[in-house]
Structure 1
């Protein structure tokens, strides 16, 4: 899967698809509208508007993230989203829930490669 900062189109196994909002960089980290990405990987995303919590599930892993909080739960265990930058938190941008891409992807067992020259992110997932 290949995404590019500021571009709402991304590819999955070479096929082009569209995000409802493009990836952005905030506090030095990439935030994305995660639903289309997780569903492309075969997972599910839930939203609790009262708790302002997103729940991402792929395979046997469940990640819970709260808007504005710099810690998340992975299979019930609390983890910092970014141990070197406490400002990295899930946010609502233009009405879309945007989650930190690397934290979510790596905790689901994906590899993430950033290419600074082209501002592209390549995610590889082997179930």
Structure 2
């Protein structure tokens, strides 16, 4: 082989070795951890505009909330069920109810226990993906009075306490 070919081969091998392995690896699914357990869902959460969107029914029901979807106007109603065990809350916000509409970033938050109501604007609107309703989880968890964190190393949404990497 000529010196030029050897040099080109060496440069090519160096360039290839600099390409991150993640390009070749399959994308890791995002996991959801709630108060001591990983939550199984048939649809994995997604990240959009730096916000983690989760399938709302799976998460809400694991937190003791009921989810009702009204297909005629694409609206969602989430309300507390009063049968939650071991859920740490910051205050009475656990009683918040949420009213939202698909593709609309405006969400109404009511607290029947305190007779308060407010309107908030989400960074990312609720949406339907693979016949599942996805919402930004940080907003809802905080409005429910729950601690929420993101473990970027393990791609895990952490809701509640007791999580160890």
Output the CA distance in 1 between the equivalents of 2:157 and 2:105: 22
What is the number of equivalent residue pairs in this alignment? 115
Counterpart of 1:85? Answer: none
Match of 2:99 in 1: 64
**Do the aligned partners of 1:31 and 1:100 also contact (CA within 8 Å) in 2?**
yes
Unaligned runs of 5+ in 1: 83-87
Unaligned runs of 5+ in 2: 1-27, 81-93, 111-116
Distance (Å, rounded) in 2 between the aligned partners of 1:16 and 1:117: 16
What is the TM-score when the length of structure 2 is the normalising length? 0.62
More helix by share: 2
Find the counterpart in structure 1 of residue 62 from structure 2: 40
Deviation readout 1:72-109 (Å, 9 max, x if unpaired): 00014211113xxxxx1101111111111111111111
Structure 1 SS opposite 2:42:
coil
Contact 2:33–2:158 (Cα < 8 Å) also in 1 = no
Which of 95, 105, 109 is matched with 1:74 structurally?
Answer: 109
For residue 27 of structure 1, the aligned residue among 37, 49, 55 is: 49
Instruction: Using the TM superposition, give the Cα deviation of residue 6 of structure 1 relative to its aligned residue in structure 2, in angstroms.
Output: 2.0
Q: Indicate conservation of the 8 Å contact 1:114/1:122, yes or no.
A: yes
Structure 2 counterpart of 1:100: 136
The list of structure 1 runs, each at least 4 consecutive aligned residues, that deviate by more than 3 angstroms after superposition, is 9-17
CA shift in 2, pair 1:105/1:19, >3 Å: same
CA RMSD, 1 decimal: 2.0
Q: Is the 8 A contact 1:20 1:33 kept in 2?
A: no
